[in-house]
Structure 1
């Protein structure tokens, strides 16, 4: 709870230096920013009544009988486990960058930042991030993949809703669709920008002039567009 615009400051496209580093470090936590307001007496009373622990709860968690626990466990095992990929790209006058976050079904995250050392548009930078993320997902042998991004255009092109008339974008799209066929199941969805903040921070960091980067992320410089590289199976920097 805060009366300061912390989220807007940390994830601003104009952020640089230490602000980007803080955005990356804090990105591993599930932080929700809400405006701090005064608590009225009646609201506080309602809160106490609503969240009072009853006889069926201990420590705020409902007691589950062994039979119920086994039933829930069986239901969970029937659900398919999906890896989750968030990606984003940033194109600036001096340099461009791509960022991605790959999370396994247990919640463990791999953060990857790519500095694109060649001229690129913002959408091309996003495709570079997507291709690197898909390649990384293949390396860790993910079978089912959920891909999330805040660019409606890229999501619509991958889902076949929009056609790519630009030749370069069409090449990127063919590469992406080729890699996606190697997963058992996958789907790509559009998410609001506030749900893609870590990938966005990584792309902003990679496109900045900051030399020192957090050790918790993988960082690499890409000299050539992926569509010009023969080996498109492995992600950047990973041998097939």
Structure 2
């Protein structure tokens, strides 16, 4: 099952068929996307509010960095989410003293 998340409600609800598509550019876009939908056995479109889309922003940036041909096999991308920002793990404590770092 493929779940497609988007933070633009208009586009998501038009693709789900819940809202009518009137704009000519949007009609062409919707038609193209629905042709691609046929390539998948099970696909759903989900609205994700903009303030909750940090992961979508990161994935969009990642996707813009690679070029994949239509029938090329794409290996899964494994990601981990840590509670502490990654840069905190790269700082090693050198002996503790009573002096401020600056």
- Distance, in Å, in 2 between the alignment partners of 1:199 and 1:176 is 18
- Which runs of 5 or more residues in structure 2 are unaligned? 71-102
- Distance, in Å, in 1 between the alignment partners of 2:49 and 2:63 is 25
- TM-superposed CA distance for 1:145, in Å, is 0.5
Cα–Cα, structure 1 residues 239 and 200, in superposed 2: closer, same or farther, change >3 Å?
closer
- TM-superposed CA distance for 1:218, in Å, is 4.9
Aligned-residue CA RMSD (Å): 2.4
Q: Deviations over 1:113-157 (max 9, x none)?
A: xxxxxxxxxxxxxxxxxxxxxxxxxxxxxxx20111121101110
Is 2:30 the counterpart of 1:167?
A: no
TM-score by length of 1: 0.26
- TM-superposed CA distance for 1:193, in Å, is 2.2
Higher RCO, Cα 8 Å, sep 6+:
2
Cα–Cα, structure 1 residues 160 and 202, in superposed 2: closer, same or farther, change >3 Å?
same
> Size of the alignment, in residue pairs?
70
The 5 Å alignment of 1:11-160 reads 144-160=1-17
Cα–Cα, structure 1 residues 153 and 218, in superposed 2: closer, same or farther, change >3 Å?
closer
- Distance, in Å, in 1 between the alignment partners of 2:63 and 2:44 is 25
- Which runs of 5 or more residues in structure 1 are unaligned? 1-143, 207-216, 221-235
Cα–Cα, structure 1 residues 198 and 158, in superposed 2: closer, same or farther, change >3 Å?
same
The 4+ residue runs of structure 1 with deviation greater than 6 A are none
TM-score by length of 2: 0.56
- Distance, in Å, in 2 between the alignment partners of 1:194 and 1:177 is 27
Equivalent residue, structure 2, for 1:238: 68
More strand by share: 1
